């Protein structure tokens, strides 16, 4: 394979077109077993591509453009030029019972510079808007008014070639002010080529080998299912089943750059998807977080836990924590999650580096009342901070929606049956079920401490608002862990309501 040394000289190249960033660079790719093969990694906002370089002969005099290697749907960004516009002409339309077809691409103009558009491409969408049922003139107007950055969704039809080779009387370049200039360029400067009429030259182009959509994609540095870190390598898996394989970088600095660029794009797309979902949910059920984590699976065959890992899609939605095997793709999928628990009856604890059970980094525990603790890891420190921040926001929103929660307890030496209520407005209140009255009541701010035996007994230490004396209340609760987690949730929400900076200070 011929490798473009100019590309390799700059590990990651960047092109900026308005708000669109496209990055590319040479890497090596393998299946984890065989010798890595040189390829180009090409990153745009929505997709990650692995490309190989192809060298083909081209007749310079006729300016013959190559055709794409397949007929898959592609998304191509075109930056309109002040002179020449989009640099293409179209044919077809609904009145001809044909799609809108690119009939000519003008040399060195906008469409030509993308290297990703071809004569015979049918334009399906313009900036996400379907134009398949448009007439020719309607399509021309849509393209002319599409703005400076135009996202074209296209698919190649080789069968359209005979139609495109017919008379060009209905062909229309999108910016007529440079039609003559464009025609001259297409014709090879009026045929005055310095290379001669039959001379052929070699041209280089990048062929897409693998395309991975980044929407809710899974990216990892670890050997799949293990805690073993690949040196200077990673892989990306898309929801459509596409997989980059193992992408090897020259050094840790380049690896770090690629991971940041890719995860930033995934994060941006996921955030947009969250906004779309939240349009369909009431405010109390809004999503605070969505993203991939890796859950440690207990291995009973040896003494060391969490030796294998499985990807999980973690979401925080309303009062619930949901764990999916694959991301929810529509509203109905949210109702089919098999693993759901309440955020206000759970605790998230970030694991210190010294407490990691194996080589996995950026780990945390989710402890839920009545269930075994779940051990997770994420790829970056930034992602761990995002989860921690979203968790606190979810706890606050869940408590405000819940309002109050009552636990069955027994109180005092007489072991009277009572109900301990955690109420957003009242605070702590013990209700005597026999006397049907409240035995005592304290605000959350009056709590000075608590202690428990890890089983059922709990002591709450309150400060009297007038005497400032500490009063201890002893209780027994059969669901002690659930009570403690719920207390923590209410106290967290109260602190956040008094000091809004409490939540913003936890934002990464």
Residue 339 near residue 254 (C-beta atoms within 8 A) = no
Same domain, 301 and 380: yes
Q: Which of 398, 431, 464 lies at the terminal end of a domain, its last residue?
A: 398
Domain that holds residue 460: 404-482
Coil/strand/helix, residue 380:
coil
- pLDDT single digits (tens) 127-149: 888 998 999 999 999 999 988 88
User: Does residue 24 fall inside a structural domain?
Assistant: no
Residue reference for tokens 């060009």: 168
The reply to whether 440 falls in a domain is yes
Opening angle at CA 174, ends 171 and 177, nearest 5: 105
Same domain, 101 and 141: yes
Torsion of CA 246, 247, 253, 259, to 10 degrees: -80
Considering its fold, how many domains does the chain have in total? Answer: 3
Residue 347 in any domain: the answer is: yes
Whether this model's pTM surpasses 0.75: no
Mean pLDDT of the chain, nearest integer: 82
Residue 183 pLDDT greater than 90, yes or no: no
Domain-embedded: residue 240: no
Which pLDDT score, from 0 to 100, does residue 184 have? 29
Res 12: pLDDT? 64
Q: What is the CATH number of the domain that holds 85?
A: 2.30.42.10
Residue 317's domain is classified under what CATH number?
2.30.29.30
Residue 110 lies in a domain: yes
Q: Last residue of a domain, which of 398, 419, 444?
A: 398
Banded pLDDT at 4 (limits 50, 70, 90): very low
Predicted confidence at residue 15, as pLDDT, reads 52
At residue 461, the pLDDT reads 95
Q: With 80 as the cut, is the pLDDT of residue 162 above it?
A: no
Residues 67 and 159 in one domain: yes
């Amino acid at each position: 394979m011929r490798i473009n040394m100019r590309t390799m000289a700059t590990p990651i190249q960047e092109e900026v077109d308005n708000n669109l960033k496209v990055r590319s660079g040479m890497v090596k790719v393998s299946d984890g077993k065989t010798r890595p093969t040189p390829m180009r990694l090409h990153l745009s906002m929505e997709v990650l591509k692995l490309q190989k370089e192809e060298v083909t002969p081209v007749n310079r005099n006729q300016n013959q453009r190559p055709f794409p290697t397949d007929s898959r749907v592609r998304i191509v960004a075109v930056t309109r030029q002040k002179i020449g516009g989009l640099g293409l002409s179209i044919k077809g339309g609904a009145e001809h019972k044909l799609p809108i077809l690119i009939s000519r691409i003008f040399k060195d103009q906008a469409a030509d510079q993308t290297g990703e558009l071809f004569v015979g491409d049918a334009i399906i969408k313009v900036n996400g808007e379907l134009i398949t049922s448009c007439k020719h003139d309607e399509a021309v107007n849509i393209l002319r008014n599409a703005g400076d950055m135009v996202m074209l969704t296209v698919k190649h039809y080789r069968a359209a070639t005979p139609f495109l080779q017919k008379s060009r009387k209905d062909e229309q370049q999108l910016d007529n002010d440079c039609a003559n200039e464009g025609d001259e360029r297409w014709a090879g400067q009026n045929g005055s080529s310095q290379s001669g009429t039959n001379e052929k030259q070699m041209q280089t182009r990048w062929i897409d080998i693998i395309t991975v959509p980044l929407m809710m994609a899974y990216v990892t540095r670890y050997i799949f299912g293990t805690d073993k870190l690949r040196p200077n390598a990673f892989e990306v898996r898309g929801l459509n089943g596409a997989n980059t394989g193992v992408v090897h970088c020259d050094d840790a600095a380049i690896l770090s750059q690629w991971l940041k660029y890719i995860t930033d794009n995934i994060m941006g797309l996921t955030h947009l998807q969250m906004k779309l979902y939240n349009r369909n949910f009431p405010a109390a059920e809004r999503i605070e977080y969505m993203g991939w984590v890796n859950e440690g699976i207990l291995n009973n065959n040896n003494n060391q836990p969490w030796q294998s890992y499985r990807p999980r899609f973690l979401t925080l939605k309303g009062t619930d924590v949901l764990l999916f095997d694959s991301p929810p793709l529509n509203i109905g999928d949210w109702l089919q999650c098999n693993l759901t628990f309440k955020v206000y009856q759970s605790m998230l604890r970030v694991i210190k580096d010294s407490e990691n059970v194996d080589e996995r980094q950026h780990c945390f525990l989710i402890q839920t009342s009545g269930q075994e603790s779940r051990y997770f890891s994420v790829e970056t420190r930034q992602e761990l901070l995002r989860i921690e921040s979203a968790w606190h926001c979810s706890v606050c929103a869940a408590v405000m929606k819940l309002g109050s929660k009552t636990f069955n307890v027994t109180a005092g030496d007489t072991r009277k049956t009572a109900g301990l209520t955690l109420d957003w407005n009242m605070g702590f209140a013990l209700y005597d079920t026999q006397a049907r009255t409240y035995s005592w009541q304290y605000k959350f701010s009056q709590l000075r401490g608590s202690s428990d035996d890890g089983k059922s007994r709990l002591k709450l230490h309150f400060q009297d608002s007038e005497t400032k004396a500490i009063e201890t209340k002893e209780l027994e609760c059969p669901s002690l862990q659930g009570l403690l987690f719920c207390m923590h949730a209410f106290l967290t929400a109260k602190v956040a309501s008094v000091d809004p900076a409490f939540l913003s200070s936890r934002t990464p």
